[in-house]
């Protein structure tokens, strides 16, 4: 029992200590909002794609690919979006429903998924496969939902919505990193030492830098007046989805790295990029900001608990 708890804490605490470091750096003035925003953008556009490319391009992708696993991730994501939509209908303020849906289903899969799996297993191939099944859906659903529920929706016609969604998916740096990595692996293209070292330098920065930037983005003062609503979002995001889909994943015989990737997909905190997207589509962003903060705070407890449960049953 004690060994299982130590295993769980060893997996979660280093991740959240990096986030706390980012928050402390912001508090003492080493990082400000402008720098943090630039760090988030830099991580999203360079280091995370480099990390995914490095993991996938070196893998024997033909042997690593698992159709059942990817389809499970796609199916669980679609059902999660549907559940989040039903929860949003309980909220009277229709202008906030889009934010509620996105904050309830959209995990920080790329950041925390890779961090957790690499922390436990030393590589993130299954996390990358999970991202293949979720990130495109995350983006397509977010752009569509936020556009349809935006206060400025009358200014956006169906054609503009289609093309903005398509552009958002095609130009997503994480998706580009995944696609290029898969193609590189399947074609068996050799990597020159210069390229390999350059990419590895970027990739090794991805996890700590993204976690520090996420911690520095945490704003306690913005969490006013939305506690009941965001507690509901946190319950759905951190507990309900895991309770619904983890038993199914175990039943389908997913174990080890795959099960950890599924856990992070289902039960990690709402990603900080939700706030940026909500603001860009004309939403206030208040609900999203609080949801990101609250789920980030509580996930340090819930993820540790889920890891402890899975480890106790020898599933990981």
Confidence (pLDDT) at 83: 94
Residue 34 burial class via C-beta count within 10 angstroms: exposed 0-12, middle 13-18, buried 19 and up: exposed
Confidence (pLDDT) at 4: 57
Give CA–CA dist 27/143, Å, rounded. Answer: 33
Give CA–CA dist 127/115, Å, rounded. Answer: 9
**For the chain, how big is the Rg over CA atoms in Å?**
19
Confidence (pLDDT) at 236: 95
Confidence (pLDDT) at 278: 81
- From the centroid of its chain, how far is CA 271? 5
Confidence (pLDDT) at 163: 75
Q: With 0.85 as the threshold, say if the pTM is over it.
A: no
The domains of the chain, with CATH numbers, are 2-312 (1.20.1530)
Give CA–CA dist 227/231, Å, rounded. Answer: 6
CA dihedral sign of residues 143, 202, 77, 16? negative
**Helix 97-105 / helix 67-88 crossing angle, nearest 10 deg:** 150
> Over its length of 316 residues, how does the chain's per-residue pLDDT go in tens digits?
566 566 656 766 777 788 789 889 988 989 888 888 888 788 878 887 888 788 778 777 667 778 899 899 999 999 999 999 999 998 888 888 999 999 999 887 766 666 667 667 666 667 777 877 787 788 788 878 888 887 766 555 566 766 766 776 777 787 788 788 888 888 888 888 888 899 889 888 887 887 788 778 766 666 667 788 999 999 999 999 999 999 999 999 998 888 888 998 898 888 777 876 787 777 877 788 788 878 877 887 888 889 889 888 888 7
């Amino acid at each position: 029992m004690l060994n299982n708890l130590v295993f769980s804490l060893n997996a979660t605490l280093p991740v959240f200590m990096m986030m706390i470091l980012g928050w402390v750096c912001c508090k003492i003035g080493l990082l400000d909002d402008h720098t943090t925003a630039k760090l988030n953008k830099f991580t999203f556009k360079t280091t995370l794609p480099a990390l995914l490319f490095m993991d996938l391009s070196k893998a024997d992708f033909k042997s690593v690919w698992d159709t059942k696993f990817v389809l499970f991730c796609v199916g669980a994501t679609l059902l999660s979006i549907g559940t989040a939509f039903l929860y949003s209908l309980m909220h009277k303020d229709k202008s906030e429903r889009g934010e509620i849906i996105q904050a309830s289903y959209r995990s920080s899969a790329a950041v925390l998924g890779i961090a957790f799996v690499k922390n436990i297993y030393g590589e993130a191939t299954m996390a990358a496969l999970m991202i293949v099944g979720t990130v495109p859906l995350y983006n397509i659903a977010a752009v569509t939902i936020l556009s349809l529920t935006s206060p400025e929706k009358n200014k956006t016609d169906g054609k503009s919505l289609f093309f903005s969604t398509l552009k958002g998916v095609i130009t997503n740096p994480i998706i580009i990193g995944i696609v290029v990595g898969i193609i590189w692996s399947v074609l068996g293209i050799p990597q020159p030492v210069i390229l390999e070292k350059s990419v590895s330098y970027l990739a090794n920065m991805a996890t700590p830098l993204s976690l520090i930037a996420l911690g520095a983005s945490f704003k306690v003062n913005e969490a006013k007046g939305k506690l009941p609503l965001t507690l509901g979002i946190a319950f759905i995001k951190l507990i309900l989805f895991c309770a619904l889909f983890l038993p199914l994943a175990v039943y389908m015989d997913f174990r080890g790295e795959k099960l950890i990737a599924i856990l992070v997909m289902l039960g990690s905190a709402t990603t900080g990029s939700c706030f940026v997207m909500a603001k860009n589509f004309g939403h206030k962003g208040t609900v999203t900001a609080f949801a990101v903060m609250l789920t980030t705070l509580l996930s340090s407890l819930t993820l540790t608990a889920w890891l402890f449960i899975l480890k106790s049953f020898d599933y990981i």
